[in-house]
């Protein structure tokens, strides 16, 4: 059996979120898409937000990892703030993707979907977690 205890989850997540991860970027996508295991970065760049003033944001720095009630090591990103100078009516932020260079790291279809308005940045934090899965 292989497993990563709580202390290892926290140490691994902290290690992961330092170093090269500091250059990761978060993009928003504004066309409905359900993330799938076969997705690649182009899946999301093709549906990336394009309103005036939009720019990808860095999720760094992340908080120090800790353990939640479900036994997940978790960490929150910095508060992301995507500027909105002008935006077409009906635009909805369906989710985000995290990328590092040419690698897609993960993507999420948000349950609470921001509707951008001119002059009001879209803000949220990304929560990343590492959970233990004992392997028989």
Partner 1 sequence: MQVVPLYSRVALLDLLTPALAAWVHLYTNDVALGWWTQKEDLVEPAVPGYAPQPIFGWQDAVLVGPFASAQSDPVMFTREDPADATVVQGYFLTNMQDGTLLCVEKSDLAPISFGNSGTPIVVLPRIQLRQQQGVTDEPLLPSIGAGGFRAGGSSTLDET
Question: Which residues are at the interface with partner 1 (CB under 8 A)?
Answer: 1-12, 15-16, 18-21, 34-40, 71-72, 74, 95-96, 98, 100, 103-114, 122-136
Cα(37)–Cα(94) distance, rounded to whole angstroms? 18
Rounded to a whole number of angstroms, the minimum distance from the CB of residue 63 to partner 1 is 13
Rounded to a whole number of angstroms, the minimum distance from the CB of residue 102 to partner 1 is 9
Query: By C-beta, is 60 or 100 nearer to partner 1?
Result: 100
Query: By C-beta, is 20 or 85 nearer to partner 1?
Result: 20
Chain centroid, CA 27 distance in Å: 8
Rounded to a whole number of angstroms, the minimum distance from the CB of residue 136 to partner 1 is 7
Query: By C-beta, is 3 or 86 nearer to partner 1?
Result: 3
Beta-bridge partner residues of 26: 57, 98
Kind plus residue range of the DSSP H or E element containing 121: none
Rounded to a whole number of angstroms, the minimum distance from the CB of residue 128 to partner 1 is 5
Instruction: Look at the alpha carbons of 53, 89, 25, 61 in this order and tell me if their dihedral is positive or negative.
Output: positive
Query: By C-beta, is 18 or 85 nearer to partner 1?
Result: 18
Rounded to a whole number of angstroms, the minimum distance from the CB of residue 67 to partner 1 is 9
Contacts within 8 Å (CB) and 24+ apart, 106-114: 106/35, 107/29, 107/35, 107/39, 107/43, 107/44, 108/35, 109/33, 109/34, 109/35
Helix (H, G, I), strand (E, B) or coil at 18: coil
Query: By C-beta, is 55 or 135 nearer to partner 1?
Result: 135
């Amino acid at each position: 059996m292989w497993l990563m205890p709580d202390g290892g989850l926290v140490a691994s997540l902290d290690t992961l979120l330092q170093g090269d991860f500091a250059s990761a970027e978060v993009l928003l996508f504004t066309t409905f898409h359900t993330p799938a295991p076969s997705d690649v970065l182009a899946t999301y760049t093709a549906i990336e937000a394009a309103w005036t003033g939009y720019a990808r944001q860095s999720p760094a720095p992340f908080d120090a990892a800790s353990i939640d009630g479900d036994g997940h090591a978790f960490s929150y990103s910095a508060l992301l703030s995507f500027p909105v100078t002008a935006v077409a009516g009906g635009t909805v932020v369906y989710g985000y993707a995290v990328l590092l260079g040419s690698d897609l790291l993960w993507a999420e279809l948000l349950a609470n979907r921001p509707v951008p308005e001119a002059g009001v940045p879209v803000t949220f934090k990304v929560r990343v977690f590492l959970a233990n899965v004992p392997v028989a």
